[in-house]
Amino acid sequence: MRKPKIVILGAGYGGLLTTVRLQKLIGVNEADIVLVNKNDYHYETTWLHEASAGTLHHDKVRYDISAVIDRSKVNFIQDTVVEINKDEKKVMLEKGEVEYDYLVIALGGEPETFGIKGLKEFAFGITNVNSSRQLREHIEYQFATYNMEEVKDDNRLSIVVGGAGFTGIEFLGELTNRIPELCHEYDVDQNKVKITCVEAAPTVLPGFDQELVNYAVSQLERKGVEFLIGTAIKEATSEGILVAKGDQEPWEIKAGTVVWAAGVRGNAIIEKSGFEAMRGRVKVQPDLRIPGFDAVFVIGDSSLIINEEINRPYPPTAQIAMQQGEVVARNIAALIRNKQQLETFKFDNKGTVCSLGEDDAIGVVFGKKITGSKAAFMKKVVDNRALYMIGGASLVLKKGKLNMF
């Protein structure tokens, strides 16, 4: 009898967790498992702010996929997904195609630019290993060039971060720790460096606990960040950005580096393949399948699940992606064993910790507020936990943050 083929697209948090759970749950005679990913490595998206600021080397945030999958059970294809042909149940790749009986779309998200002019050309993103490396190297280049130029252009040392959500704040935490090192390395006067964070909402970290937000703002201000709150980026140019408050006339902030960290949308493959989506994210059924497509699951940043308590979508996080991966693995195992009753996904929120650099953070964990070194410790626990869930203790020993204090 022909074995069913399970195809998983994306080896991020959701896709890789689904794969390692499926390889345990399913016997080789029950199904073929195929994992497709652009690179032969997985990267910890949740550590990219560190690689982007240069406080952690980019090789530390990634590991080989072959280190965690069982090659006797999983066929890994390194390729880029171009489109999903849902009618013919096949996935078009850059270098070929692959057919499926069951499909898991776990391709992550993309920066949401809201169509703002100039962002794609002039702003840097914190999106993957390569974008993070480019951002880090760009900042270093600005420092190195400033040092060498005869007529100094102070705007080279001006860095603007668009968005004071979790990504923007975590990046600022790392950046403010890195700046004194950079100034020392490149013989630059630290007083010349200007860091501005522009946030459209009336507050930093909208929706988060106000006391913790105040703590984060005062810590970052103390380290030199200027916050422009209730101010939106309207355009990015080769010289910097244009910003505006409400209906006021836009004004210019000159900057040698503009970082866009103002939210994510679902992967473009979703809309390109004709699935119904809201900002690229598919509103999935409680069993994580796409309505009308019984063989297709979507998890992670490309999926959308409503938090019934507030009637708004859950923010896309690694935490939710991994919990979805666990459920999808069990649901696919049930389907190939002809069980029609599938598990319903329910998000179990363990809390949120937002890093403010190596030794500082804020968070709400199991309902309790934490700050400072205690929160920074918890952040490392969370980071190591993600490694443990995918690759067990050996991966934690190899890639983990073992310098806990």
Please give the positions annotated as active site.
Answer: 170
- The binder of 240, among ligand NAD, ligand FAD, none, by C-beta within 5 to 8 A per type, is none
Residues 272-311 that bind ligand NAD (CB under 6 A): none
CB nearer ligand NAD, residue 26 or residue 172? 172
162 makes contact with ligand NAD (CB under 6 A):
yes
Write each residue from 303 to 342 as x if it is in contact with ligand FAD (CB under 6 A), else as -, in one continuous string.
-------------xxxx-x---------------------
**226 DSSP assignment:** E
CB nearer ligand NAD, residue 16 or residue 233? 233
50 makes contact with ligand NAD (CB under 6 A):
no
For 279, residues 6+ apart whose C-beta sits below 8 A from its C-beta are 112, 265, 266
53 makes contact with ligand FAD (CB under 6 A):
no
Count Cα atoms within 13 angstroms, Cβ side, for 384. Answer: 16
Q: Locate all alpha helices (DSSP H) within 161-274, ordered by sequence.
A: 166-185, 210-222, 268-272
- The binder of 12, among ligand FAD, ligand NAD, none, by C-beta within 5 to 8 A per type, is ligand FAD
CB of 300 to ligand FAD, least distance (A): 2
CB nearer ligand FAD, residue 15 or residue 256? 15
CB of 336 to ligand FAD, least distance (A): 22
- The binder of 206, among ligand FAD, ligand NAD, none, by C-beta within 5 to 8 A per type, is ligand NAD
Choose the stretch contacting ligand NAD; rule: CB under 6 A; options: 6-14, 61-69, 249-257, 258-266.
258-266
18 makes contact with ligand FAD (CB under 6 A):
no
Tokens representing 345 are: 């996904």
CB of 386 to ligand NAD, least distance (A): 11
123 makes contact with ligand NAD (CB under 6 A):
no
Which has the closest alpha carbon to 188: 160, 137, 153?
153
**φ, ψ dihedrals at 121, nearest 5°:** -80, -40
Tokens representing 274 are: 């004709």
Distance of alpha carbon 137 from alpha carbon 131, whole angstroms = 10
Q: How many residues does the chain have?
A: 405
**281 DSSP assignment:** B
- In the list 31, 106, 164, 195, the residue contacting ligand FAD (rule: CB under 6 A) is 106
Choose the stretch contacting ligand FAD; rule: CB under 6 A; options: 101-109, 211-219, 220-228, 305-313.
101-109
Which has the closest alpha carbon to 236: 112, 115, 109?
115
For 59, residues 6+ apart whose C-beta sits below 8 A from its C-beta are none
Q: Locate all alpha helices (DSSP H) within 26-118, ordered by sequence.
A: 48-53
Which secondary-structure segment (H or E) carries 148? helix 129-148
Q: How far is CA 206 from CA 46, 164, 201, 288, 399, in A?
A: 19, 8, 7, 28, 32
Q: Which residues pair with 251 in a beta bridge?
A: 243
267 makes contact with ligand NAD (CB under 6 A):
no
Buried b (16+ CB within 10 A) or exposed e, 198-236: bbbeebbbeebeeebbebbbebbeebbbebbeebbbebb
CB of 264 to ligand NAD, least distance (A): 5
Using CB atoms, what's the residue nearest to ligand NAD? 165
Footprint on this chain of ligand FAD (rule: CB under 6 A): 10-15, 36-39, 42, 45-46, 48-49, 80-81, 106-108, 126, 167, 170, 267, 269, 300-301, 316-319, 321
